[in-house]
Structure 1
Amino acid sequence: MLTNTDRRARVLVVSLGGTIASTTAQSAHGVVPQLTAQDLVDSVPGLHEVADIETLSFRQVPSGDITLDDVVALSRLIRDRLKDGVDGVVVTQGTDTIEETSFTLDVLLDGPSPIVVTGAMRNPTQASPDGPGNVLAAVKVAASPDARGLGCVVVMNDLVHAARFVRKTHTSSLATFQSPSCGPLGWVKEERVRVVLRPNHLARISLDLLKDVPRVALITCAIGDDGRTLRTLAASGYRGTVIEGFGAGHVPGVMAPDVENLVAQMPVVLCSRTGAGEVLDNTYGFVGSETDLLSRGVISGGSLDARKSRVALTVALAASVHREHAIEQFVHVRDSVV
């Protein structure tokens, strides 16, 4: 813990691969993850003036190849390094799954120490790559006493986003990461980290309870859906399902009986495909509406989007022997978000 303001912060930089670590390889027709955590740190001018930096290359993969098992293992590593006296942690990875990685870390790691996830939209072979600037800003946040107690955050483009709210909203823009429900928590200005919003304390799920990570399906509704996909999930080995419904939490009426049948087999969480706002509770009354689905035993995702709900449900199931306990754990996390 950082208690002496005259002491420089110790910040651990852990790399997982992704665009930020990708350069041209002779065997590939494009860039692939190759740079180590030390390579990334060495590419940032002035970084060692901010904090005492330690590095660890944990994975070297595209972000789509990161698994929740990887993130659970990363969580245990971070917990151990924080116990050893590291003041903050920066995780670098590909941006495609930053939403899931950051929220998993948020759910699993309690305590005030800053945990920051960052990446890059432009790889190091392109003009004006954003990786070095993002690493510099992330380390500033991880070293800042003002960032303590925020939970896991995502720092991109000099903005500080809460893991529970952040979304990737564009395929290539440097400003792709946004928090539609509340905006960023703060920003980095020169050497100062400005924090203007502090989220509620998030309920955590103990790492010590986790066993094998189960499979949880994510089903997005589209016009004309008839529910036939839902009928295959239990036989395919899924232990939970998140449904990304229309608008305020709706599905086509023809799907409602299949949803109810699925509830009898596993926990089913209802979210909105809109990407912002909360699932409603009791406004609409038609078959397939939020009121109808909740009456059939579906669990509301609340203000969590579908990807974050899938993370929370997966971790809750991994930490629980009984279905009822898993649902209780999920609801505890959900209700602490806002």
Structure 2
Amino acid sequence: MTSPHVIVLSLGGTIFMSQDASGAAAPGSRGPAAVAGIDAGAIEVRHREIANIGSPSIRPADLRTALDLAREAVDGGALGVVLSHGTDTLEESAFLLQRYWDREAPLVLTGAMRAADAPGADGPANLRDAVLAAAAPSARGLGVLVVMDAAAHLADRVTKLSSREVGAFGSEPGGPLAIVAPDDLHLLQGPLPRRGFVGGDLPRELPSVPVLALGIGDEAALLDAVPAGSLAGLVLIGSGMGHVPAAAMDRVRAHIAGGTAVVVATRTPRGGTSDRHYSYPGSEVDLQRAGAVMAGLLSAHKARLLLQVLLADGADASRLRAAFAEHAV
């Protein structure tokens, strides 16, 4: 019988970076030492490096490897798995992994806002808390979590709110799921029903789905450079409850008519899109009449990932609408 243990898989990120003489951080070799220094009481911590790169460079294939290794770890007796990750795209990876994570044991992502050798480095505490969360009894069945700054967040709600602050992560709406304590997660709210589960193997490549932000005076002329229907999917970042300029609607309709799945998100950080409040040209009602789908509470980049996953899984228009309806408000 193996001792109680948690596996730490690492993809790199600021948490394992070192600063040069100017104070700029870059990937270093601090991972093994940082993991070896974790004091999680009776929990043994084991480490395996997958990559050591900045998170903007992480690809679906890297996450497929992490998913496969995490499943292997818990099937081999690990209480849970921690995945170290750069903070820039951490919320995207957590969201994507949540579509496929199919074990009761938790998969916990963590990172740091300060390099490992920076004054006040936050990585050691985040790693320890992530290990504690991965072993916590209350974390079982919660799926993929993000642990930063002593708080645990659900993958579908967490977002990076600051490019600089140590307390950079929050959850919209509702705040964090729990506070991490040495004995367990102290839940602050009831876990949400699981949404958008796909299961199976995470594809090593996902369909290309561009994101286009539209603002005042924007007629979406960039879409003229792409033949209507040549895109599998498209995410539009609108304003307010999911609105685009009326002058853009002809181009949006043309792409939808050509077979492109169009999802509309909002640039506002709170409240999400609507499906009923406004019906003027370019509003959410007008967009839905044209065949677009509203992203609801999902940010544009999470909406993009959900659309990519569904398209990769062969989802038809009806299934797309149903999947995004689970995130509607």
TM-score by length of 1: 0.89
Equivalent positions of 1:1-338 (< 5 A) are 9-24=4-19, 30-35=24-29, 37-44=31-38, 46-47=39-40, 49-197=41-189, 198-208=191-201, 210=203, 212-233=205-226, 238-263=231-256, 264-320=258-314, 325-337=315-327
Note closer, same or farther for the CA distance 1:194–1:272 as it changes in structure 2 (3 Å cut): same
Note closer, same or farther for the CA distance 1:115–1:235 as it changes in structure 2 (3 Å cut): same
Q: Which runs of 5+ in 2 are unaligned?
A: none
How many residue pairs were aligned?
326
Deviations 1:275-315 (A, max 9, x none): 22231112211110000001001012122121111111111
8 Å CA contact retained: 2:100, 2:202: no
Note closer, same or farther for the CA distance 1:94–1:229 as it changes in structure 2 (3 Å cut): same
Note closer, same or farther for the CA distance 1:142–1:336 as it changes in structure 2 (3 Å cut): farther
Please state whether the residue corresponding to 1:95 is helix, strand or coil: coil
8 Å CA contact retained: 1:106, 1:163: yes
Stretches of 4+ aligned residues off by more than 6 angstroms: none
8 Å CA contact retained: 2:71, 2:103: no
Counterpart CA distance in 2 for 1:234 and 1:113 is 45
TM-score by length of 2: 0.91
8 Å CA contact retained: 1:204, 1:333: no
8 Å CA contact retained: 1:313, 1:326: no
8 Å CA contact retained: 2:63, 2:93: yes
Matched letter for residue 187 of structure 1: I
8 Å CA contact retained: 1:231, 1:262: no
What is the percent sequence identity of the aligned residues?
Answer: 31
Deviations 1:149-184 (A, max 9, x none): 112111000011111011111111111101121111
Please state whether the residue corresponding to 2:50 is helix, strand or coil: strand
8 Å CA contact retained: 2:60, 2:202: no
8 Å CA contact retained: 2:132, 2:181: no
Counterpart CA distance in 2 for 1:80 and 1:328 is 34
Quote how far apart the aligned CAs of 1:31 are: 2.2
